[in-house]
Structure 1
Amino acid sequence: MDDTRVIAAAPHSTQTARIETARLILQPHALSDFAESFALFSDPEVFRYISGRLGTREEAWSRLLRYIGHWAALGFGYWVVREKTSNAFVGEIGFANYERIIEPSFAGIPEMGWALMPALQGKGYANEAATAALAWADRQWPGGTTGCMISPENLASIRLATRHGFAEVVATTYAEHATLVFHRHGASSRISAS
């Protein structure tokens, strides 16, 4: 018996998924974001913790279509993160259902991820974007669990995750790489538990 659960958010247009913070705009991807997304995932500093090799143009195109498809099919996905004043591309953050073959399973748990352009790191943008994305998630899945996978060597991402309530569940491997799996329980479950 297949116990796979499809996670979905309330149906809405990608227009309503746009988020503004003090310094950033988060909006679902469009085809016009391809060049910047490809630049992000072909940067050696970014890919160092993801797979250890640079992303190809073909992989970047598939990733972009997957991001767009998440919003269309599931009502959630990744956002392009841009500076509000300059419209500069900062990076990407969001939630996905990748149907990964990993233990423990992510079945029924939206998986969060993020990546920022190295030149724009260290400005607090990752924290600001994560705060906004997780507030959105708490409204979509009140009391729900979100998860993420992080390389044990990626100390900056581990700090960001734990700062936002993610706790390490297990150290495991995925695609022959060591990885840590983290879970975060949504705001309403943390409030009701206190």
Structure 2
Amino acid sequence: MPVLKTSRLELRPPVVSDFAANMAIVSNEETARYLAAHKGPADHFARFCRNAGSWLLYGYGAFTVRLREEGEIIGNCGVFHTLRGLGPDFDDQPEAGWILRHDQVGRGLAHEAMTAVFDWFSREYGPRRIVCMIEPGNEPSIRLAAKLGFTPIREAQLPDGGEVRLFERLPG
């Protein structure tokens, strides 16, 4: 399994002991407000297992992100594979996502992590179209998506009724 290192971060595939730290991150009010359909521990566990399944079935998924100096988990970022029921222009595509602990937002860490992820993904899987979804109103993530090369596709509604904006990042 890959381990990616940047100047400030270490990214590695998740292990079962990461669940509690990740649950704490997504349960924080500041973070949870932008997570479509986050409904508590059972929902988070299903997401955590879906990510593990992406690693197992596709060879890629979201990485656990740790600060190199302190070693503490501050989020997860990566490219994973999932089906969301959003249509053929989005489903069954590599999907990017980033979640950082609320006190780490605004430091350029998500950009640093995702740049390392995209470099690794491209080396391993070649240039590929990658999609992402962001809740309307999450302006910091929308700005980051643009900085990472994503462009809007369309607005969509998740099967549970939540509104999201869909983006794509084309190869090259």
TM-score, with length taken from structure 2: 0.92
What's the counterpart of residue 66 of structure 1? 50
| CA displacement, residues 125-146 of structure 1 (integer Å, 9 cap, x when unaligned) | 1110011111112223322100
What's the counterpart of residue 154 of structure 2? 170
Sequence identity percentage: 32
- The one of 39, 46, 49 aligned to 2:31: 46
What's the counterpart of residue 123 of structure 1? 107
The code of the aligned residue for 2:42 comes to E
Conserved? CA contact 1:47–1:55, under 8 Å = no
Conserved? CA contact 1:82–1:89, under 8 Å = yes
- Cα distance in structure 1, aligned partners of 2:48 and 2:164: 24
Paired residues in the alignment total 171
What's the counterpart of residue 131 of structure 2? 147
In structure 1, runs of 5+ residues without a counterpart are 1-13
Residue 29 (str. 1) matches residue 18 (str. 2) = no
The code of the aligned residue for 1:133 comes to V
CA RMSD for the aligned pairs?
1.5
| CA displacement, residues 152-184 of structure 1 (integer Å, 9 cap, x when unaligned) | 200000111110110011122223122111000
In structure 2, runs of 5+ residues without a counterpart are none
Deviates further, 143-152 or 132-141: 132-141
The code of the aligned residue for 1:126 comes to A
TM-score, with length taken from structure 1: 0.82
Deviates further, 151-160 or 100-109: 100-109
- The one of 158, 172, 182 aligned to 2:167: 182
